[in-house]
Structure 1
Amino acid sequence: MSHHSVLYLSSPIAASARGPFDLPKELEQLKAHGFGVDKKELRGNWLQRQSALHPDKFGSKGEQAVHLARELSGRVNEAYAVLGDDLRRAEYILSIYAKDTQETDKLDDPMLLMEVLEAREELEEAESQEEIDRIRSLNQEKVSEITQALTAAFSETPPKLDEAKVLAVQLKYWMGLEKAAKDKVV
């Protein structure tokens, strides 16, 4: 059962009974929801699923029901975490199409790599919170542009998977800068 199924099917328990991953149905889910995610709807679906699947609700139905509820609750949490994060969602969708990104995937664009390295250097040299905030603001613009490009690439029929993979690798670099900026204390 995939992340889209867990949060968007009417009955995740029925979906799990069907067995593991059903690729044709998953591709239909992807077409229906694409890369773009309505975060409010996603959160609402997550809360609804967690409420329905809370293991305490299944205590009177036996240990097997409680175990299944715990397992499905964990899947719901994982689905929410993946679908709610642009980079993880892109990597997940690419994996469905067997276009996984790897830890070893690197930027092939020397200009972009230089831009990322310069931004990292600027962050390392930042001496005030205002400088960090400015760097984060510029970085968030880049992340937003890449996210929009990913949405467009995945929306094509057929999806532009090679382009999406390159964009996902770019997003990974810019998200790394975002994490470093969040962690930096001056």
Structure 2
Amino acid sequence: MSLLRPQVRVALRYLRLPIRPPHLRAVHVRLPRPSLLHIARFASTTPIPRLCPSCSQPLPTSLPACPSCSSISPLPPKITHHDLFGLPYEPNPFVVDLSTLKKRFREAQAACHPDAWASKSSKEQDLAHILSSRLNEAYQCLLNPLPRVEYILEQNGVPLSETEQVEDLAFMAEIMEAREIIDEATPENKAVIDELIQMNDENIRETIQTISSLVSEEKWLDVKAAAIRLRYLQGIDRAAKQWMDTHT
């Protein structure tokens, strides 16, 4: 019998533990709850004009790039990632229709892709590069739950740094045991890694659901704690899948 087996049983027992409510977990840095005025200031947006300012024709996307008269303009200030794709920020900015996001990204990218403005003036080409870069940044952020919640936290005055950790010892024991299993696993332990991935995926789904509920309630410090947990769980997911790629 492999020497890994006892460790596997212990770790799988840990990984079967349900994720406890976020209010039971803490982060190292305790920030004061932002005031409603502070939240409103960070979450305020400036609507993107729906008509071209040059020819008054309807714009095909949320970007100020018009194919009718070949004009392109800078983005208004304080535009959110959601605004760029015409996605609702209220009532819950964490809830994003991914099929709509992908469709509108393709449409917007076609409207502002630098190749489409290659024959225009250098100023217009520069604007196209700026719009395209901002569009890609916003798309990648909204596409994935972790950068999405990090962005929402920043919008509401509760930024999440790379060094913050949870203080929940049981949760950290789960993470450490899972990493130990992955690091010490041999090709004979493929079934164990498969099961670990499945359990970790379930924990990720539960954490994402928790984040969505907390965002809707504007419990930003609890959202932050849940986002940190999601960061750890996604780290386990990457490590386990990298192991599978290496050993299959």
Q: TM class by shorter-chain length?
A: 0.7 to 0.9
Q: 1:111 aligns with which of 170, 175, 186?
A: 170
For these two proteins, the number of residue pairs brought into alignment is 177
Structure-to-structure mapping, 1:20-169, within 5 angstroms: 20-21=77-78, 29-32=88-91, 34-128=93-187, 129-156=190-217, 159-169=218-228
What is the CA-CA distance between 1:162 and the residue it aligns to?
Answer: 0.7
What is the CA-CA distance between 1:33 and the residue it aligns to?
Answer: 5.2
SS at match of 1:34: coil
The residue number in structure 1 matching 2:62 is 11
CA shift digits 1:14-37 (9 cap, x unpaired): 7x74642168x97x9521552022
Supply the distance in 2 between the matched residues of 1:97 and 1:29 (Cα, whole angstroms): 16
Supply the distance in 2 between the matched residues of 1:39 and 1:131 (Cα, whole angstroms): 32
Supply the distance in 1 between the matched residues of 2:129 and 2:75 (Cα, whole angstroms): 18
Supply the distance in 2 between the matched residues of 1:19 and 1:77 (Cα, whole angstroms): 17
Supply the distance in 1 between the matched residues of 2:162 and 2:175 (Cα, whole angstroms): 17
What is the CA-CA distance between 1:63 and the residue it aligns to?
Answer: 1.3
CA shift digits 1:119-151 (9 cap, x unpaired): 111222332333322211111111100000000
Supply the distance in 2 between the matched residues of 1:36 and 1:22 (Cα, whole angstroms): 18
Residues 123 and 135 in structure 1, CA contact (< 8 A), matched pair in contact too: no
Letter in 2 for 1:31: E
Residues 55 and 66 in structure 1, CA contact (< 8 A), matched pair in contact too: yes
What is the CA-CA distance between 1:169 and the residue it aligns to?
Answer: 0.4
Letter in 1 for 2:119: S
Residues 117 and 125 in structure 2, CA contact (< 8 A), matched pair in contact too: yes
Residues 82 and 92 in structure 1, CA contact (< 8 A), matched pair in contact too: yes
* Greater helix fraction, Structure 1 or Structure 2: 1
Letter in 1 for 2:196: I
Letter in 1 for 2:147: R
SS at match of 1:61: coil
Q: Which has the larger radius of gyration?
A: 2
CA shift digits 1:46-87 (9 cap, x unpaired): 111111111122233311111111111111111111111111
Residues 153 and 160 in structure 1, CA contact (< 8 A), matched pair in contact too: yes
Unaligned residue ranges in structure 1 (runs of 5+): none
Higher relative contact order (CA 8 A, sep 6+): 2
Residues 92 and 216 in structure 2, CA contact (< 8 A), matched pair in contact too: no
Percent identity between matched residues is 33
Residues 74 and 127 in structure 2, CA contact (< 8 A), matched pair in contact too: no
Q: 2:241 aligns with which of 174, 182, 185?
A: 182
Unaligned residue ranges in structure 2 (runs of 5+): 1-42, 51-60, 66-72
